[in-house]
Structure 1
Amino acid sequence: MTAEIPDKLYFKIGEVAEITGIKAHVLRYWEAEFPVFSPQKSRSNQRLYRRRDIETALLIKDLLHRQRLTIAGAKKILNRKTAGGGDAPPPVQSAKNRRIIDEIRRDLERLRDSLSSTPDSH
């Protein structure tokens, strides 16, 4: 999550899409799926995202795309972390922990592949 977020109070959906690399229709879908991700709306019903909304979108993107969680799994993590932590989005895992998890995931995939290619001994 190293996107550069400009120093502004509010962002339109197109700006958020550009900053995060997430398409506008996906952002709208995530609003329906993740209650913690809910931008304000202007009088003309235009979405107005704040910095924390962008940070939350980047966190959701990380959970779904890089950590490969399901929507349900990402919801559980977000709900668990925000239950005791106010408005701020939860911090992402440290780079070291991510590398360890990625390495374990690769090891498990190799093990699964080797087991599926081994003829059954029964």
Structure 2
Amino acid sequence: MAGLKADGAFRTIGELSDELGVAQHILRYWETKFPLKPLQRAGNRRYYRPADVALARRIHQLLAKDGYTVRGVQKLLREGRLDGVGQAETPLLEEPTSDVSGADLRRIRERLKRALDD
């Protein structure tokens, strides 16, 4: 199929943006907040290494699906709690607290917000 690259291939910012479903300016913003350091060639064209792609996927998962903030993800990185970047089974909590999902937490947060607004 055209357009598919091997897992070990470098990706342009456009390709990574399409894969993750985020705008290119978001990826450039992430470069200022996280250790994403793509190679830059002529014309400042960005080429993301496989390790950068894996990290971007993990960041996207944490921000968009698990409900973390940028600061929360930065803290996980600082504490070295993203070993095995890109692996879904990477433990994010030191101790399991319950079987509550990110979606459940977002619903609870919305209910609390509505209650406080009333």
Q: Does the TM-score normalized on the shorter chain lie above 0.5?
A: yes
Larger helix share, 1 or 2: 1
TM (norm. structure 1) is 0.66
Q: What's the counterpart of residue 18 of structure 2?
A: 18
Gaps (5+ residues) in structure 2?
91-95
For each residue in 1:4-45, what CA deviation from the matched residue of structure 2 results, as whole angstroms up to 9, or x when unmatched?
Answer: x721531111111111112111000000111x2111112442
Higher-Rg member (1/2): 1
Taking only aligned residues, the RMSD between alpha carbons, in angstroms, comes to 3.4
TM-score (ref. length: structure 2): 0.68
In the other structure, the counterpart of 2:85 is 89
Number of aligned residues: 106
How far 1:67 moved relative to its partner? Answer: 1.4
Structure 1 stretches of 4+ with a deviation exceeding 6 A read none
2:55 aligned with 1:59: no
Give the aligned partner of residue 6 of structure 1: 5
Aligned in 2, Cα 1:107/1:24: closer, same or farther, shift over 3 Å? closer
Task: Could you tell me which runs of 5 or more consecutive residues in structure 1 were left unpaired when the two chains were aligned.
Answer: 118-122
What is the percentage of aligned positions where both structures have the same residue? 25
| Structure 2 residue aligned with 1:40 | 39
Using a 3 Å threshold, how does the CA distance of structure 1 residues 13 and 91 change in structure 2: closer, same or farther?
A: same
Contact 1:78 1:90 in 2 (8 A): no
Whether the 8 Å contact between 1:13 and 1:47 is mirrored in structure 2 is: yes
| Contact 1:82–1:90 (8 Å) recurs in 2 | no
